[in-house]
Amino acid sequence: MGPSALEDLITAFGRLPGIGRKTAQRLALYVIKAPRQEADALASAIVAAKDGIAYCAKCFNFTDRGQELCEVCRNPRRDGQVICVVEEASDVIALERSQLVSGTYHVLGGALSPLDGVGPDDLRIDELMRRVGDGGEVKEVILAHNASAEGEATAEYIYQKMSALTKVTRLARGLPVGSDLDLIDRVTLAHALEGRQNF
Amino acid sequence: MGPSALEDLITAFGRLPGIGRKTAQRLALYVIKAPRQEADALASAIVAAKDGIAYCAKCFNFTDRGQELCEVCRNPRRDGQVICVVEEASDVIALERSQLVSGTYHVLGGALSPLDGVGPDDLRIDELMRRVGDGGEVKEVILAHNASAEGEATAEYIYQKMSALTKVTRLARGLPVGSDLDLIDRVTLAHALEGRQNF
């Protein structure tokens, strides 16, 4: 079918999520034709990302290796009294891009999922409890989990454990901007009705 | 927005064709979470493909570096009297997968495109002429170019230069399998009518 180095590269690209055989082949052919410099840059970026990225000792967000705390936790202007709890470090990237969070984060590392064998001990819930318990400094915990069954279960669990210690809130559920009422799913509609607001 | 190594990797993935910012981020986050071994395998496959792939001295198909001729040209069972002319080495991969070509190939390296400044001298047409001219061994040249304006122009050009030397044919144009007559474009329909066949 072709040189083995080409087949190997197609296979390696094909292991990436959402990359099928055809896309993998297109990427491999591109790399072979690309300037040497660009191919080397991609290869080194992959290795550098594996080598250069660590997790914040406080909130478990991504941080540069060698830095104990992440950019957010190091920033003295961020409000340490508010902790926004997310499932994954990639959620922090999305929230930081929005510039809507002035507080800090806590990355759980997933969501409760009995079917997948993910229990409370597999998430960084104890670490969150310790941050909230430390001297009563934390005024609010915002649960920013995904709108999935696992996300809801995780939020419910944390709420039960933490509501005695501090204020616990969650992101609003309702109609996303630009949505057609007649196309929206029933559960979202139920949330939108339940959470209806006064003018 | 995050550690610089992560940003660098997102940028590097984003340079690949058809990979937007969101996909690049998804791939980068996957690589960071993937086992070290898998990330290293991808990085080395990229470098190995650049280092390990060369072009066949005869037909300009991909070959392993160190091999003067490609797999097809080395195979004594392939019919050297028939040359299938394609635009890119990736076309050879597609044709080899189909197992429909028993002859050999010639990779032009593109198609004539005056707008993009690609003239006959930029393609491997002289090399093809030499293969056909060598001792009259070549019985047929099959033009398997893309069904684009550039592909047609290239085929026409080669036909003019080569029809005195050997038999020159081209792939049939017509309805692709599974097509709906009422949805097919007018040009394809014209080709299908023009090339209509007896039962």
What DSSP string describes B123-147?
Answer: TTHHHHHHHHHSTT---EEEE---S
By Cβ distance, the residue of B1, B15, B40 closest to A47 is: B40
Confidence band, pLDDT 50/70/90 cuts, at residue B99: confident
Question: How far apart (Å, rounded) are the C-alpha atoms in residues B60 and B127?
Answer: 10
Question: How far apart (Å, rounded) are the C-alpha atoms in residues B156 and B150?
Answer: 10
Sorted by where each starts, the structural domains of chain B and their CATH numbers stand as 75-170 (3.40.1360.10)
Q: Which of A50, A62, A73 to mutate to test the interface with B (most CBs of B within 10 A)?
A: A50
Question: How far apart (Å, rounded) are the C-alpha atoms in residues B85 and B155?
Answer: 9
Nearest residue to B3 via CA among A48, A37, A78: A48
Chain B residue with CA closest to A63: the answer is B3
Which pTM was predicted?
0.73
Q: Which of B10, B42, B98 to mutate to test the interface with A (most CBs of A within 10 A)?
A: B42
| Residue of A136 and B150 predicted with greater confidence | B150
Across the interface, whether the CB atoms of A42 and B11 are under 8 A apart is answered no
Other CB atoms within 10 Å distance of the CB of residue A180: 7
pLDDT tens-place string over residues A115-169: 889 999 999 999 999 999 877 689 999 999 888 889 999 999 999 999 988 999 9
Chain A residue with CA closest to B45: the answer is A9
Which SS3 state, helix, strand or coil, does residue B2 take?
coil
Across the interface, whether the CB atoms of A93 and B41 are under 8 A apart is answered no
Across the interface, whether the CB atoms of B50 and A39 are under 8 A apart is answered yes
CA torsion through residues B18, B20, B25, B26, sign: negative
Question: Which range is least confidently modeled, A50-59, A150-159, A179-188, B15-24?
Answer: A179-188
Beta bridge partners of B54: B63
Quote the percentage of chain B above a pLDDT of 70. Answer: 98
Confidence band, pLDDT 50/70/90 cuts, at residue B1: low
Chain B residues within an 8 Å CB radius of A43 = 43-44, 46-47
Across the interface, whether the CB atoms of B63 and A3 are under 8 A apart is answered yes
* Beta carbons of A146 and A87 less than 8 angstroms apart: yes
Confidence band, pLDDT 50/70/90 cuts, at residue A2: low
Chain A residues within an 8 Å CB radius of B23 = 18
Q: What is the 3-state secondary structure (H, E, C) of chain B?
A: CCCHHHHHHHHHHHCCCCCCHHHHHHHHHHHHHCCHHHHHHHHHHHHHHHHHEEECCCCCCEEECCCCCCHHHHCCCCEEEEEEEECCHHHHHHHHHHCCCCEEEEECCCCCEHHHCECHHHCCHHHHHHHHHCCCCCCEEEECCCCCHHHHHHHHHHHHHHCCCCEEEECCCCCCCCCCCCCCCHHHHHHHHHCCCCC
Average pLDDT over residues A15-20: 94
By Cβ distance, the residue of B16, B32, B38 closest to A53 is: B32
By Cβ distance, the residue of B12, B62, B96 closest to A42 is: B12
* Beta carbons of A73 and A61 less than 8 angstroms apart: yes
* Beta carbons of A150 and A124 less than 8 angstroms apart: no
Question: How far apart (Å, rounded) are the C-alpha atoms in residues B152 and A64?
Answer: 53
Q: What letter represents residue A152's amino acid?
A: E
pLDDT at B116 over 70: yes
Across the interface, whether the CB atoms of B62 and A2 are under 8 A apart is answered yes
By Cβ distance, the residue of A15, A43, A63 closest to B47 is: A43
Quote the percentage of chain A above a pLDDT of 70. Answer: 98
* Beta carbons of A95 and A101 less than 8 angstroms apart: yes
Across the interface, whether the CB atoms of A52 and B13 are under 8 A apart is answered no
| Residue of B198 and A155 predicted with greater confidence | A155
By Cβ distance, the residue of A3, A19, A30 closest to B17 is: A30
Nearest residue to A25 via CA among A41, A38, A33, A13: A13
Q: Is A112 exposed, middle or buried (0-12, 13-18, 19+ CB in 10 A)?
A: buried
Which SS3 state, helix, strand or coil, does residue B95 take?
helix
